[in-house]
């Protein structure tokens, strides 16, 4: 399958950001000693891919062509959300099986599943383990392989992940399989009328949303935890992300969704932010989408080019 001809946009377009205090401060992360581990949670998915490179880290810079809309809070909250409205109101959608070029040119049918998925922690691995118990050969092409030799492997850095079999994740059904190609865990979720995030590894269901953390120091000596919700662009994969043959978030070919991201990925955003924070976000996104003619910065460049 040839790669889509549409070129990707640049990585640093002008963006509109929204900041608001967490409406449920009791849920704020109190122990910030492991923030670095939290920030790296999704980047572990390509540890092997970027072994010879240094990760790009948190690239969010509030001074880079971004307009910040801030909601003042006199109580100085301990946790503040910072959300990329340009991305969240874009028309990106997953186009796996409908034009996705795959991250490797020689394996377009893999989508972004070529490398397998690293587990974020023991809880993540245990959830997937319970999901695998519900799979059978009618829905999982490599069920026999997984039962015989296992479905977990350890990469050269000692990180546990899903096995790569025949060049891609063991849970990826290949073209021609009776139940259809694509993630078998995703298909299981559909069959059970459940959200895929309940069954899939964290790194799989969170993409292409990036959640990152940093501590912000106020002028008065106090501080708060900033939780950023943004686009997981190429840089989220580490330095090697620039070498991916194709990637969807900045490609107009993938900005053809019927709903904006904040609606189509509502379950994922609620899981990442909490219901109360999502409700605040959705309210502002609704206002932004209604005012786009007045505030053109809110339109993602790839969405504009897709029209």
pLDDT by residue (tens digit) across 165-208?
Answer: 999 999 999 999 999 999 999 999 999 999 999 999 999 999 99
Cα separation, 303 vs 260, whole angstroms: 10
In a shared domain, residues 169 and 296: no
Q: Is residue 211 part of a domain?
A: no
Model confidence pLDDT, tens digit, residues 47-81: 443 343 333 334 444 344 344 444 444 557 899 99
276 domain-assigned:
no
Q: What is the pLDDT of residue 12?
A: 77
> Is residue 265 in a domain?
no
For residue 102, which of 209, 200, 182, 205 has the smallest C-alpha distance?
A: 182
Burial of 205 (0-12, 13-18, 19+ CB in 10 A): buried
Instruction: Look over the chain and give the mean of its residue pLDDT values, rounded to a whole number.
Output: 84
Answer yes or no: is 275 within a domain: no
- Cβ-based burial of 260 (10 A; exposed 0-12, middle 13-18, buried ≥19): buried
98 and 221 inside one domain = yes
Domain endpoint, select from 205, 236, 271: 205
Does residue 299 belong to any structural domain of this protein? yes
Name 20's bridge partners: 81
CB 154 within 8 A of CB 202: no
Same domain for 126 and 170, yes or no, is yes
Same domain, 102 and 123: no
Number of domains in the chain: 2
226 shares its domain with 182: no
CA distances from 256 to 98, 207, 260 (A): 11, 17, 9
Domain end, chosen from 205, 235, 250, is at 205
Same domain flag for 223 and 196? no
In this structure, are 85 and 3 located in the same domain? yes
- Domain range for 147: 113-205
Task: Look at residue 227 and tell me whether its pLDDT is greater than 50.
Answer: yes
Compute how many other C-beta atoms are within 10 angstroms of the C-beta atom of residue 129: 12
Verify that 40 and 183 share a domain, yes or no: no
Judgement on whether residues 222 and 255 belong to the same structural domain of the protein: yes
Mean pLDDT of 7-30: 76
pLDDT at residue 196, as a whole number: 98
The whole-angstrom distance between residue 180's C-alpha and the CA centroid of its chain comes to 24
Flag whether 212 is in a domain: no
Kindly report, residue by residue over 241-255, the tens digit of the pLDDT.
Answer: 999 999 999 999 999
How long is the chain? Answer: 307
Of 159, 177, 205, which residue constitutes the final position of a domain?
A: 205
Question: Residues 100-122: what's their mean pLDDT?
Answer: 96
Co-location of 186 and 248 in the same domain: no
Q: Are residues 2 and 98 in the same domain?
A: yes
291 domain residue, yes or no: yes
Asked if residue 167 belongs to a domain, the reply is yes
Predicted pLDDT at 239: 86
Whether residue 117 sits in one domain with residue 105: no
């Amino acid at each position: 399958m040839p790669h889509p001809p549409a070129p990707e946009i640049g990585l640093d377009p002008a963006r509109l950001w929204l900041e608001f205090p967490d409406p449920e401060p009791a849920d704020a992360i109190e122990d910030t000693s492991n923030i670095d581990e939290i920030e790296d949670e999704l980047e572990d998915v390509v540890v092997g891919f970027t072994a010879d490179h240094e990760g790009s880290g948190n690239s969010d810079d509030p001074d880079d062509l971004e307009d910040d809309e801030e909601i003042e809070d006199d109580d100085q909250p301990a946790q503040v959300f910072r959300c990329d409205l340009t991305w969240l109101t874009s028309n990106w959608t997953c186009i796996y099986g409908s034009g996705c070029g795959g991250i490797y040119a020689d394996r377009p049918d893999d989508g972004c599943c070529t490398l397998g998925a690293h587990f974020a922690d023991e809880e993540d691995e245990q959830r997937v383990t319970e999901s695998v118990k519900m799979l059978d050969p009618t829905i999982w092409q490599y069920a026999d392989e997984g039962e015989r030799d296992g479905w977990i492997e350890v990469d050269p850095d000692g990180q546990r992940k899903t096995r790569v079999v025949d060049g891609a994740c063991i849970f990826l059904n290949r073209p021609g399989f009776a139940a259809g190609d694509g993630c078998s865990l995703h298909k299981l979720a559909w069959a059970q009328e459940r959200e895929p995030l309940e069954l899939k590894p964290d790194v799989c269901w969170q993409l292409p949303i990036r959640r990152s953390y940093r501590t912000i120091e106020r002028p008065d000596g106090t501080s708060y935890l900033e939780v950023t919700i943004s686009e997981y662009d190429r840089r989220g994969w580490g330095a090697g992300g620039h070498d991916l043959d194709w990637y969807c978030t900045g490609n107009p070919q993938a900005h053809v969704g019927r709903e904006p991201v904040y609606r189509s990925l509502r379950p994922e955003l609620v899981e990442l932010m909490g219901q109360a924070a999502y409700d605040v976000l959705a309210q502002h996104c609704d206002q932004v989408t209604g005012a786009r003619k007045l505030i053109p910065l809110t339109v993602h460049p790839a969405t504009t080019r897709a029209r």
